[in-house]
């Protein structure tokens, strides 16, 4: 390994570095990311992607994308496409794209070989009997009455299983290992089950499908994977992974399975099954709803791939399960946008403001002025833009109070405030509708305060954003709260969906945006001054999603912890 390359140290890179030094696989490093195409990728998968692709990258190796497509009931081509797209969006390029189904024939041949050697047998028991016969912890299993049938008989039945002669669930192929092994995974695990169902790639060619355990390690070996990195729930499967590989004739050293802790967050779930249920029950608009923790949902919401990658790398890779604060991830998102997002003005809940002393031009129309405003004070190279200002404006409803409560320093009758970058104004009166609601605030502006600074140096306590009515563009803005109100969804009742927040989204219509926002590109994220970061919907140009607010709640949480 080149010492100049900075490899973030964690137990996985230590293992890989050690293998390189010992010359296992002649120093080669090859990993794979193996999603099952039965749903969209979520933020937990991002962690696996960063570990799988990142580890290969750090050591000059390669990483394959392998679709683990061994359950035809739940798998679909649309999921294959979304997964490939999400990986590319995250910034990774697989050296090759493979499918476990590419190996069905080889797996079958190997299975026949194990049967011939007495290492696998066809079991005619049904699922219930098999599972009862497995025993439990501290309770040995019971051997199947078919366990000692002749290899020739198993072979013949296995061929007929393949030929589609039997109904689903009537027979399985099992490895013949040890029915009283202390690790349940080794009590004659199932290798094949009968499924008379079409597969999204192999069609009706197969009536039997390999299990995860039989397909996974063998697929790793076929591809030449050196380090097969997965999450901790597969730890107990490792002896089985090794058992299968040790009974095959391989030309090179078998791959090595390494497990790490899943990435989980507060206020959300990272389980495809639960996310699929949210979609099926129409609790969200779809897999890519901006509230979903899917990569496509987070992308719609305005999460940059860079922030997700940085978080996954910097949070560390360990073997201890824990739930991370969602605020920590948001803090990474905010950091990227603070550096890069353009600043704009937008009024979400508009209240009309009329400047009574605003001049009219020679034709009797209200005068228009333009103020030069920095696009991003953090990046002077992003330049400035001109923002139009006139005598009828929009301000936020919450920036005006007819009767100001204590410590309220924004606009109220008789009070002077700054309209950001424009003028100082003083409220002089209001118009109300029949119900007594304020519909228009009247104010006067100080012509000597152009740019927002008074000629005599007097100070005001508050600066407010605004949008000129004649130049505004209308848009809808989606505001979000947590999708799940509980920190650990499901902890209370065992069912995460019981903690779903019924008011996780509020859509504001008729928001007033400064003219430059008409040019915002689909997917672009901008900062609405004082309000947060907002992403233009990729499909609906006049819809903005609030990505995150401006306040760093993570920093506040850290401070409170002392
Ligand atoms: P789910 O439980 O959501 O269905 P899964 O593990 O069944 O997830 P796969 O498509 O099999 O989903 O996962 C592909 C890879 O991503 C596996 O290696 C798996 O270990 C990893 N992975 C899945 N969820 C997480 C997570 N929350 N954190 C880290 N890695 C994950
Ligand atoms: Mg899985």
Residues forming beta bridges with residue 516, ordered by sequence position:
none
Q: What angle do CA 25, 28, 33 make, to 5 degrees?
A: 105
Give the number of other CB atoms < 10 A from CB of residue 16.
25
Smallest-distance ligand from the CA of 258 = 1
Contacts of 223 (CB under 8 A, 6+ apart): 30, 32, 64, 66, 96, 98
pLDDT at 1: 31
Answer yes or no: is the C-beta of 230 below 6 A from any ligand 1 atom. Answer: yes
Place of tokens 């903005």: 544
pLDDT band, very low/low/confident/very high, at 5 (cuts 50, 70, 90): very low
The whole-angstrom separation of Cα 346 and Cα 271 is 36
- The structure tokens listed for 376 are 């991003």
Mean per-residue pLDDT for 448-475?
Answer: 97
- The structure tokens listed for 365 are 């129309």
Note if 432 is an active site residue.
no
473 CA from centroid of ligand 1 (Å) = 43
Catalytic pick from 134, 262, 283, 420?
A: 262
Residues forming beta bridges with residue 450, ordered by sequence position:
none
Mean per-residue pLDDT for 19-40?
Answer: 97
120 CA from centroid of ligand 2 (Å) = 24
Number of helices (H), then strands (E), in the chain:
13, 27
Place of tokens 């915002």: 520
pLDDT band, very low/low/confident/very high, at 4 (cuts 50, 70, 90): very low
Note if 262 is an active site residue.
yes
Average pLDDT, the chain: 96
Instruction: Give the pTM.
Output: 0.95
- The structure tokens listed for 377 are 């004070």
With beta carbons less than 8 A apart as the criterion, state whether 36 and 243 touch.
Answer: no
pLDDT at 8: 56
HEC sequence for 393-435: EEEEHHHECCCCCCCCCCECCCCEEEECCCCEEEEEEEEECCC
pLDDT at 2: 34
pLDDT at 215: 98
65 CA from centroid of ligand 1 (Å) = 14
Please determine, for residue 3, whether its predicted confidence score (pLDDT) is greater than 90.
no
Q: What are phi and psi of 155, to 5 degrees?
A: -60, -45
Smallest-distance ligand from the CA of 268 = 1
Pairing of strands 263-265, 322-324: parallel
Please determine, for residue 179, whether its predicted confidence score (pLDDT) is greater than 60.
yes
Q: pLDDT tens, 482-523?
A: 999 999 999 999 999 999 999 999 999 999 999 999 999 999
The whole-angstrom separation of Cα 316 and Cα 54 is 12
The whole-angstrom separation of Cα 444 and Cα 485 is 45
Asked whether the CA dihedral 96, 102, 106, 108 is positive or negative, the reply is: positive
Which residue, among 366, 389, 391, has the nearest Cα to 444 in the 3D structure?
A: 391
189 CA from centroid of ligand 1 (Å) = 22
Answer yes or no: is the C-beta of 45 below 6 A from any ligand 1 atom. Answer: yes
Please determine, for residue 458, whether its predicted confidence score (pLDDT) is greater than 70.
yes
In this structure, the dihedral spanned by the alpha carbons of residues 364, 366, 369 and 375, taken in order and rounded to 10 degrees, is -150
With beta carbons less than 8 A apart as the criterion, state whether 194 and 169 touch.
Answer: yes
Task: Report the phi/psi class of residue 436: left, alpha or beta, with left for phi > 0 and alpha for psi in -120 to 50.
Answer: left
What's the gap between Cα 368 and its chain centre? 45
Q: pLDDT tens, 301-330?
A: 999 999 999 999 999 999 998 899 999 999
The whole-angstrom separation of Cα 411 and Cα 41 is 47
pLDDT at 252: 87
The whole-angstrom separation of Cα 441 and Cα 396 is 11
Place of tokens 């929009």: 394
Which residue, among 126, 91, 84, 526, has the nearest Cα to 337 in the 3D structure?
A: 526
Helix (H) or strand (E) holding 157: helix 151-162
Answer yes or no: is the C-beta of 237 below 6 A from any ligand 1 atom. Answer: no
Q: What angle do CA 158, 164, 169 make, to 5 degrees?
A: 75
Q: What are phi and psi of 137, to 5 degrees?
A: -65, 130
Note if 378 is an active site residue.
no
Place of tokens 């078998």: 254
- The structure tokens listed for 42 are 């979520």
Asked whether the CA dihedral 208, 240, 244, 31 is positive or negative, the reply is: positive
The whole-angstrom separation of Cα 426 and Cα 414 is 6
Answer yes or no: is the C-beta of 231 below 6 A from any ligand 1 atom. Answer: yes
Percent pLDDT > 70 in the chain is: 98
Answer yes or no: is the C-beta of 216 below 6 A from any ligand 1 atom. Answer: no
How far are the Cα atoms of 431, 477, 489 from residue 485, in angstroms, in the given order?
40, 22, 8
Please determine, for residue 140, whether its predicted confidence score (pLDDT) is greater than 60.
yes
248 CA from centroid of ligand 2 (Å) = 24
The whole-angstrom separation of Cα 226 and Cα 221 is 8
The whole-angstrom separation of Cα 174 and Cα 207 is 16
With beta carbons less than 8 A apart as the criterion, state whether 418 and 445 touch.
Answer: no
With beta carbons less than 8 A apart as the criterion, state whether 65 and 84 touch.
Answer: yes
pLDDT band, very low/low/confident/very high, at 562 (cuts 50, 70, 90): low
Catalytic pick from 36, 235, 369, 402?
A: 36
Q: Whose CA is nearest to atom 16 of ligand 1?
A: 45
Q: pLDDT tens, 224-254?
A: 999 999 999 999 999 999 999 999 999 889 9
């Amino acid at each position: 390994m080149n010492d100049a390359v900075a490899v973030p140290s964690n137990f996985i890179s230590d293992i890989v570095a050690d293998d390189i030094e010992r010359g296992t696989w002649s120093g080669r490093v090859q990993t794979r990311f193996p999603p099952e195409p039965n749903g969209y990728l979520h933020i937990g998968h991002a962690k696996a992607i960063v570990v799988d692709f990142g580890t290969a990258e750090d050591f000059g190796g390669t990483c394959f994308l392998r679709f683990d497509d061994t359950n035809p009931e739940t798998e679909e081509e649309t999921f294959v496409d979304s997964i490939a797209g999400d990986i590319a969006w995250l910034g990774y390029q697989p050296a090759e794209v493979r499918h476990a189904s590419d190996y069905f024939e080889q797996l079958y041949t190997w299975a026949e070989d194990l049967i011939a050697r007495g290492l696998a047998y066809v079991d005619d028991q049904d699922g219930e009997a098999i599972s009862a016969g497995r025993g439990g912890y501290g309770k040995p299993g019971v051997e199947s009455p078919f366990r000692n049938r002749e290899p020739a008989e198993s072979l013949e039945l296995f061929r007929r299983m393949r030929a589609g002669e039997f109904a689903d669930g009537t027979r399985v192929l099992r490895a013949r290992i040890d029915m009283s092994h202390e690790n349940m995974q080794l009590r004659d695990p199932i290798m094949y089950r009968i499924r008379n169902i079409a597969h999204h790639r192999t069609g009706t060619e197969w009536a039997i499908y390999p299990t995860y355990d039989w397909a996974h390690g063998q697929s790793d070996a076929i591809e030449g994977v050196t380090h097969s990195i997965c999450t901790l729930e597969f730890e107990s499967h490792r002896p089985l992974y090794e058992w299968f590989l040790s009974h095959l004739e391989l030309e090179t050293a078998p791959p090595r399975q390494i497990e790490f802790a899943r990435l989980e967050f507060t206020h959300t779930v990272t389980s495809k099954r639960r996310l699929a249920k949210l979609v099926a029950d129409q609790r969200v608009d779809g897999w890519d709803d901006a509230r979903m923790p899917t990569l496509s949902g987070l992308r719609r919401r305005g999460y940059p791939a860079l922030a997700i990658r940085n978080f996954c790398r910097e949070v560390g890779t360990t073997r201890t399960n824990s739930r991370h604060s969602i605020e920590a991830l948001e803090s990474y998102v905010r950091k990227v946008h603070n550096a890069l997002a353009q600043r704009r003005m937008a009024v979400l809940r508009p209240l009309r403001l009329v400047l009574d002393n605003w001049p009219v031009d020679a034709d009797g129309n209200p005068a228009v002025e333009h103020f030069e405003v920095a696009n991003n004070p953090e990046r002077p190279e992003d330049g400035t833009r001109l923002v139009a200002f006139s005598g009828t404006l929009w301000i936020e409803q919450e920036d005006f109070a007819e009767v100001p409560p204590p410590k309220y320093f924004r606009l109220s009758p008789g009070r002077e405030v700054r309209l950001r970058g424009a003028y100082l104004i003083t409220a002089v009166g209001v118009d109300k509708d029949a119900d007594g609601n304020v519909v228009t605030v009247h104010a006067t502006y100080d012509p000597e305060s152009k740019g927002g600074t008074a000629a005599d140096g007097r100070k005001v306590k508050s600066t407010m954003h605004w949008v000129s009515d004649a130049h505004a563009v209308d848009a809808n803005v989606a505001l979000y709260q947590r999708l799940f109100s509980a920190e650990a969804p499901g902890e209370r009742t065992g069912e995460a969906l019981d903690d779903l927040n019924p008011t996780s989204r509020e859509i504001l219509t008729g928001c007033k945006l400064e003219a430059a926002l008409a040019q915002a590109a689909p997917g672009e994220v901008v900062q609405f001054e004082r309000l947060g970061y907002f992403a233009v919907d990729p499909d609906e140009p006049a819809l903005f999603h609030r990505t995150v607010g401006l306040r760093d709640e993570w920093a506040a949480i850290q401070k409170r912890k002392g």
